[in-house]
Structure 1
Amino acid sequence: MRIAIAGGTGTLGRHTADELRGRGHEVRVLSRHSPEYRVDLTTGEGLAEALAGCDTVVDASNSPSPKQAEQILVEGSRRLLAAEEASGVGHHVCVSIVGCDRVPMGYHRSKAQQERVVESGQVPWTVVRATQFHELLAAGFAAVGRARVLPIPRARLQPVACAEVARVVADAVEGGPRRGRVEVTGPETADLRVLARRWRAITGRRALVLPLPLPGALGRALRSGVATSDHPDVRGTVRFDDWLRAQTPAGRADVR
């Protein structure tokens, strides 16, 4: 099968490309920086050439900032789907976020709107919703922790390894369009502050975890666990602690 991955140089896109190649598929990596299939979702440049002859498109694109989310995720999806329809693509796999329609944040609203664009389009589709990636959590803690302070709000999360999400996306590709959603989560639910303390202990980074009040609808939503799923279609097996230790060979093992 010939598969194009929009956002194929990103965190999930790279894992998905490797997973699909490992299963014997031909993969085209699409992005603004791709050496072979350079495309721009904000303009549609390069899409027609990149999608020619493709059976399936995986949209793992992302936005570098919340301000650009609607332009890339929503309008970009419209351009991508139009190009797919013109090229005869038979399946569109959209990667989204668990609870995006219940988290009152601009980026999540754009993801929910992106899903609606996909669902109303002419190309048969599957939406794969995932919880927060271990990779993005760790990168966020590292970036904020440079000041040796981690201001963290209360939030129930269910982080998952990106490689496990990539396998679910690849399964969706091979399973064909279902015009429905597949949810994939991590194996455990934990408060964001607990995860921050685990990150600090395992990596050996010195940073004070400072409780950050998050009032209003967003705070209530995150504390209530809207970004988690009690009954996902696929539950990953790699815990955040174990994933961190694999990335940090000298990491401590006494974290609970």
Structure 2
Amino acid sequence: MRILICGGTGFLGRHIVNALMQQGHDPVVRSRHSDPALDFVRLSTAQDWLPHLQGVDAVINAVGALRNRPDTDLQTLHMTAPAALFDACAQAGIRRVVQVSALGVDKGDTLYASTKRAADDYLLALGQAGELNPAIVRPSIIFGSGGASSKLFVLLANLPILPLPQIMRNSQIQPVAVRDVAEVIAKLATSDTPCGVIEIGGTQPLSIERFIATLRAQMKYRSATVRILPTRLSTASAKLGDKISWMPWCSEAMALLENDNVTDPATLRNLLGHEPLDIYQMIDTLPKGGRLG
């Protein structure tokens, strides 16, 4: 199959491309950094998208950002452009559309959650109208080489004294390996089985504090000395992250952690058809075993 991947040069997108190729399919990669380049936010109508859908059998939307940037607002990136893409797919007769969303967007009121949820709902409505056959994938925290949050987790895991916001001790996540998420998405894109919303999480839920501890253990380090930051400093650290465009820790991320990010681990296992990567094996997927320097 010939499959268009929007965001195919990004962290998850690159792994999806590899998974599709391994399964014998023909990925068509489009992003601002592809050749030819595709500026996602400028394609705001179905007519804008139709020329990019010629000869395409299915579409994967893996475009996303955690917060607004000077050249990109989340409303356009997560809702306006994807809605136009979904409409174009319906007009072009492309039934299978896979939308990469995130676990927990149905609960939060952050800009990230609300804009992702709006696109999910729009796609579901097209599915309910019989115009498309959508699969909306909502993964928990994705871990792997090249991921911004993964880099932050590894950086923290290398610290012998670990300052953490209280929410990183209280909130539960369910880290899932990027290669497992990519494999699932590739399989869904090449299937016509009705899906709707699919929640994906790794083998077990745990706090961010505990996850960082597992990473340290995999790097053969002793347990870190954890210092929980008071609320004022936790908020200040997130606001500092707001000013650093590449930093995954920011006010938006802090707000998202107010709800646990967990689901049934059996879903991932069933979709893969084999055991997913365990959290105690994740460091081995990174260059140099995750060590800095």
**TM-score, structure 2 as length reference:** 0.73
2:54 to 52, 55, 60: 52
Gaps of 5+ in 2: 236-252, 270-274
- Per-residue CA deviations over 1:198-223 (Å, capped at 9, x if unaligned) read 334545699864424479xx989846
Alignment partner of 1:123 out of 116, 121, 132: 132
Corresponding residue for residue 10 of structure 2: 10
Name the SS of the counterpart of 2:176 in structure 1: coil
**Counterparts in 2 of 1:28-177, with a 5 A limit?**
28-36=28-36, 38-44=37-43, 47-63=49-65, 65-66=67-68, 68-121=73-126, 122-135=131-144, 136=147, 137-142=149-154, 150-152=163-165, 153=167, 154-176=170-192
What secondary structure sits across from 2:101 in the alignment? strand
Aligned counterparts of 1:194 and 1:15: Cα–Cα separation in 2: 26
Q: Counterparts of 1:103 and 1:231 in 2: how far apart (Å)?
A: 21
What SS class does the counterpart of residue 263 from structure 2 fall into? coil
Q: Deviations over 1:120-177 (max 9, x none)?
A: 2333211122111013442233567899754342310100001101111122122215
Deviations 1:72-131 (A, max 9, x none): 011111121133233332211111112211134321222211101111233321112211
Give yes or no for contact 1:119–1:179 (8 Å, CA) kept in 2: no
Moved more, 109-118 or 146-155: 146-155
Look up the match of 2:206.
Answer: 190
Contact 1:101 1:108 in 2 (8 A): yes
Is residue 2:242 matched to residue 1:237? no
Percent sequence identity is 25
**SS of alignment partner, residue 114 of structure 1:** helix
Tell me, what secondary structure is at the counterpart of 2:135?
strand
What TM-score comes out, normalization by structure 1 length?
0.82
Counterpart of 1:24 in structure 2 is 24
One-letter amino acid of the structure 2 residue matched with residue 17 of structure 1: V
Q: CA 1:241 to 1:7, structure 2 compared with 1: closer, same or farther past 3 Å?
A: same
Judge which range, 190-199 or 156-165, deviates more: 190-199
* Letter of the structure 2 residue corresponding to residue 76 of structure 1: A
Per-residue deviation at 1:241? 2.9
Contact 1:74 1:111 (8 Å CA) reproduced: yes
Count of aligned positions = 248
| 2-structure distance, mates of 1:198, 1:222 | 19
The CA RMSD measured in Å over matched residues stands at 3.2
